[in-house]
Structure 1
Amino acid sequence: MTSQPFVVAVVVTYNRLELLQTTLAGIASGTRVPDAVVVVDNASTDGTSEFLRTYRGPVTTDVVTLNTNVGGAGGFAVGMERAVLDHGADHVWIMDDDTEPQPKALQEALDLAQAYGQDTGHVPGFIASRVVWTDGRDHPMNRMRPRMGASDESRSSAARLGATQIRSASFVSVLIPAAEIRRHGLPIADYFIWNDDLEYTARVSRKGIALSTNASVANHHTKVFGDAGADPGPRFYYEVRNKVWVYTRSNALAPWEKVLFTGASLRNWTRTIAASKNRKVLLAGLFKGLRDGLKAPRSNAEVLAGIYALRDVRQPVR
């Protein structure tokens, strides 16, 4: 007999109490619940902290309340570090506070990880759930495309298990072995919001295997059904700056991928601005994002100084 892996869920929240309650209820209703949940509260002001002080779920809940909103990127850096170093996780299950994992989400991801390892001798760098909107349609914001350049053998190995080999995923129900976090480090906190998940998952999968499976499902409770081309308003700044950082400051993508991704981003940005009723806002975000993207992102220690004493998760993997 083999022991069950120790799984820690990490949820980052900010001023979305009702959605957070839905997320925690989804986690608690699973056919396999995690062994612990780390909730990182990004200095919420809507009653979230009060709720979390009295919350008692079916598994151990570790609440980290920050005194400053450091965005999803900073929150996941804190939560993943805590899951690995304080809770000794074998796997870390990551999600935002607008994620509602369906009952079999975690179990199916764990089953796939085990089956793929037994079938190929390789442990997947991460497994991403199928992400759907509230009406069950595949969410375009979380669309995961098959990995370009994957070998026929690699595709077949995944397909035999009902999975698809992918290159990146959003932080909406992603299962990552703790060994991968120790190997690749943490998300870059200075991204704040957007594309931190692209950079991190692409970093993990560049020389490894990443899979998605339709058997594991999570609902993404966004306000509208749309992709990244929807008018983001002032947040367009983060889309531009962070993509520039991914393409110029990160080793997550191969050179040929950077060329393709840059071309796709330029097309998407052009379409988004052209379709917007607030072009001045988006143009301001574009120019500011391009300007700030020329500077390298700050280290996690700099971003979190005085907020959270982040420790180094990079340790030799036995």
Structure 2
Amino acid sequence: MVVAVVVAYNRRDLLTRALDGLAEQARPCDAVVVVDNGSTDGSGERAAAHRLRPDVLTLERNTGGAGGFAAGLAHAVLARGADLVWLMDDDTVPTPTALSALLDARARYAGRPAVLASRAVWHDGRDHPMNTPRPRFGLTAGLRARAAAVGAVPVRSASFVSVLLDATAVRTEGLPEADYFLWNDDFEYTARLLRRRTGLWVADSVVEHLTATFGDSDADPGGRFFFEVRNKLWLLRASSALGPLETLLYGAATLRRWARTLRRASDRATVLAAGRRGLAEGLRGQPQPTSAVLAGLGTVSDEVRAIEKGAGRD
């Protein structure tokens, strides 16, 4: 049972294209869930009227991408009985063989991957720099060859733009950190799933990531730099996603990335102010439990709490 989860917020026309792409899959999804994350542009109504007839989870408030994916993932696993959950943003348009390529690689791989990620391209066919997966280092030649035999590369983390998750791993590790709101939630979650499991990037599974501009997420973030700094510090300080050596190495890489972001910023004062706020919050505390962040949302909250409790995270 493969269930697709699309998180939507005020991009009604892009959401329609994403659903059209899902409807045209060579291997159809068994069910589709759309999380309407407090949209005000009729995204939920557009999804409900689509020929796919998806489950539409209407959240009363915008919980960010992190909260939306947590809610949709819990619903897919509990209410729809998913064995595999295919996550994507509402600006992701899967090509017709995107899902079948992921499933083919999974079936042929000599093992049980917990995460399989697609190749994300921009509308002109260039690989999208925002969705470059982090390769897994330190593997034996034999393990790399095992992945290459199915047209895949072993990865340590992946983007929520298009990623297929094993529901058993979800039940064991729980849900994304909803308190991240946006930025780094997919890195933290997939790295947590893959701490001791296998993840594969499958080149033959292609999706279009239709961002307004071509570039990495750190190009010119403005006030959103707050989330990058706070969430990265939360990840390094409070998450179980990385081992001690990985934390050291990734911490150093993060400092270089932040310096690059400041150099590129068109409004350096705004980025600096956002970074100082993120630094203060990231060093002072840690994220609230996902079940607390998503409380007060009716059945959605109940499903989230059940998954988190089963994973020992509630």
- Classify the TM-score, shorter chain: over 0.9
Report the equivalent of 1:41: 36
Secondary structure of residue in 2 paired with 1:231: coil
Query: How many pairs does the alignment contain?
Result: 305
Report the equivalent of 2:251: 262
Secondary structure of residue in 2 paired with 1:311: helix
Question: Within 2, Cα distance between the matches of 1:302 and 1:145?
Answer: 30
The alignment status of 1:65 with 2:55, answered yes or no, reads: no
Output the amino acid matched with 1:134.
H
The alignment status of 1:299 with 2:289, answered yes or no, reads: yes
Report the equivalent of 2:21: 26
Report the equivalent of 2:143: 154
Report the equivalent of 1:285: 274
Report the equivalent of 1:89: 82
Secondary structure of residue in 2 paired with 1:69: coil
Question: Percent of counterpart pairs with the same letter?
Answer: 52
Q: Which contiguous aligned blocks of 4+ residues in structure 1 show a shift greater than 6 angstroms? A: none
TM-score (normalizing by structure 2): 0.94
Report the equivalent of 2:47: 52
Secondary structure of residue in 2 paired with 1:312: helix
Superposition map of 1:108-147 within 5 A: 108-116=101-109, 120=110, 122-147=111-136
Gaps of 5+ in 2: none
Question: Within 1, Cα distance between the matches of 2:42 and 2:114?
Answer: 36
CA displacement 1:173-207 (0-9 Å, x = unmatched): 10111111111111010000011000000001110
Answer with 14-23 or 254-263: which moved more. Answer: 254-263
Question: Within 1, Cα distance between the matches of 2:134 and 2:264?
Answer: 25
CA RMSD of aligned residues (A): 1.2
Q: CA deviation at 1:33?
A: 1.4
Gaps of 5+ in 1: 1-5
Report the equivalent of 1:311: 305
Output the amino acid matched with 2:77.
V
Secondary structure of residue in 1 paired with 2:102: helix
CA displacement 1:257-304 (0-9 Å, x = unmatched): 111111111111111112212111100111100111121101112211
1:80 pairs with one of 54, 73, 80: 73
Q: Is the 8 A contact 2:101 2:204 kept in 1?
A: yes
Secondary structure of residue in 1 paired with 2:305: coil
Question: Within 2, Cα distance between the matches of 1:208 and 1:223?
Answer: 34
Report the equivalent of 1:172: 161
Question: Within 2, Cα distance between the matches of 1:99 and 1:52?
Answer: 15
Q: CA deviation at 1:228?
A: 2.5
Q: Is the 8 A contact 2:10 2:43 kept in 1?
A: yes
Output the amino acid matched with 1:41.
D
Superposition map of 1:214-253 within 5 A: 214-253=203-242
Question: Within 2, Cα distance between the matches of 1:228 and 1:149?
Answer: 27
2:198 pairs with one of 191, 200, 209: 209
Answer with 146-155 or 90-99: which moved more. Answer: 146-155
Question: Within 2, Cα distance between the matches of 1:44 and 1:192?
Answer: 15
